[in-house]
Amino acid sequence: MHEATAQPARLDVGRLRRDFPVLARRVHGQPLVYLDNAATMHKPTVVLETLDRFYREYNANIHRGIHALAEQATEAYEGARARVANFLNAPSAQEIVFTRGTTEAINLVAASWGSANLGPGDEVLISHMEHHSNIVPWQLICERTGAALKVIPIDDRGQLEMETVDALLTDRTRLVSIVHMSNALGTINPIETIIAKAHAVGARVLVDAAQSVPHIGVDVRDLDCDFLAFSGHKIFGPTGVGVLYGRLELLEAMPPYQGGGDMIKDVRFERTVYNDPPHRFEAGTPNIAGVIGLAAAIDYAVSVGLEAIAAWEAELLDYATQQLCEVKGLRLIGTADHKAAVLSFTFDDAHPLDAAMILDRQGIAVRAGHHCAQPVMDRLGVPATVRASLGPYNTRSEIDALVRGLEKVREFL
């Protein structure tokens, strides 16, 4: 296809920035330099207006109402589901379950699929670079079911030790739950290979795509994954909404996650008949505004161009890597061959918290800590790092501001 091979149109960052009202604000009297995009991304005006319009013009509960507002809200909500399915290239909108975020999506699979499919002697395989939200739900379900949790190790640069995967996958492996792109290091994992290997031993695969959806994009058919989870707020959308993609035949066989309204067909005290997926997994009034806002966010990302975003972020990551490597005493943590949008580092003897606090006073927002990935930090021998994470609206001059900010940190410590 010509379109696929053509160079994506170059991102007009100056124009893009005008879509994000918050980027115009000052922090401690300085222009905001927002480099905490892996935690959450800012929202473009079009998303804010979509949320506002929902509450002003057609706020109603969905699925049950007969009146015009309820129909409009239901159409927008279900339209958003179709939009997400299309975005992920999922075969059917029925395979899209709305959740509170990636964390809830993983917990849903662990609790529902896990309780039905895991037993003593079974194995769940994760990696050493998982976010806590892709560790703890599996620990909980393994404890309850007697299954064992196994871990793919990582090397000193923060890459999966792929040569160990074959031995870790056994005929008892029921599920591999793996992060596509590390939030702490930016490493992009070869999940296509892992998925193929896992399927070869009959295991299912869940992809934690919280970081990859906004930065590198995903296609569930291309990946051939069984489940995939991401959060709306990391791709220009509102907080409190996320997505679980699940193969329909798997979702159909799964018991409910939570009980309540909307997830049932018929409720009697003797017996309740559960609804079909995806509604079976959406008990209670969902985050209607959030879901509609997420669809607007996805439309926005697509209109900007995911390839153009990825290309700009890659260019910026190269620039930032070069610039930071020039800073005396700075050590990048996570130097994988394939990585995106994240620069995790230590700086001289400065504690990451001190560095982040002094950067904050200069209007520069970064994250300090273990980034909810303590095992990664332990493995790489650092208690914590400073993390600068990029978004499409970041500029070279913001990277320069970070470098100057770090020179200032040095003056203090």
Partner 1 sequence: MSIAHRAEIQDLEDTFSLLTDWGDRYRFVIALGREVEPMDPALKTEDHRVYGCQATVYLVPRVRASQNGKPTIIEFLAEADAAIVNGLIAILRKAYAGRTVDQILEFDLDGLLQRLGLEKNLSPTRRNGLHEMAKRIRTVAHRHAAPSSAA
Residue 106 or 366 having the CB closest to partner 1: 366
317 contacts: CB under 8 Å, gap ≥ 6:
186, 339, 340, 341, 343, 390
Residue 307 or 348 having the CB closest to partner 1: 348
Q: For residues 92 and 297, give the distance between their C-alpha atoms in angstroms, rounded to a whole number.
A: 20
Distance of closest approach, residue 251 Cβ to partner 1, in angstroms: 37
- Closest by CA to 104, choosing from 208, 226, 186, is 208
Contact 177, 171 (CB under 8 A): no
Residue 412: CB atoms within 10 Å: 11
Residue 119 or 383 having the CB closest to partner 1: 383
Distance of closest approach, residue 363 Cβ to partner 1, in angstroms: 11
- Which residues in 347-406 contact partner 1 (CB under 8 A)? 350-354, 356-358, 361, 368-369, 383-384
Distance of closest approach, residue 126 Cβ to partner 1, in angstroms: 24
Q: x/- contact string, 279-318, with partner 1 (CB under 8 A)?
A: ----------------------------------------
Distance of closest approach, residue 368 Cβ to partner 1, in angstroms: 6
- Number of chain residues interacting with partner 1 (CB under 8 A): 16
Residue 225 is a catalytic residue: no
Measured in whole angstroms, how far is the alpha carbon of residue 171 from the centre of its chain?
A: 29
Q: Does 35 bind partner 1 (CB under 8 A)?
A: no
Q: 216 to each of 42, 88, 370, 382, how far by Cα in Å?
A: 18, 12, 23, 27
- Which residues in 99-138 contact partner 1 (CB under 8 A)? none
Distance of closest approach, residue 158 Cβ to partner 1, in angstroms: 20
Place of tokens 């943590």: 333
Residue 151 or 365 having the CB closest to partner 1: 365
Q: Is the link from the previous residue into 383 a cis peptide, with omega within 30 of 0?
A: no
Distance of closest approach, residue 361 Cβ to partner 1, in angstroms: 5
Residue 239 or 275 having the CB closest to partner 1: 239
Distance of closest approach, residue 356 Cβ to partner 1, in angstroms: 8
Residue 173 or 362 having the CB closest to partner 1: 362
Among 142, 225, 325, 372, the active-site one is 372
Q: x/- contact string, 314-353, with partner 1 (CB under 8 A)?
A: ------------------------------------xxxx
Residue 28 or 396 having the CB closest to partner 1: 28
> Where do contacts with partner 1 occur on this chain (CB under 8 A)?
28, 350-354, 356-358, 361, 368-369, 383-384, 412-413
Catalytic positions are: 372
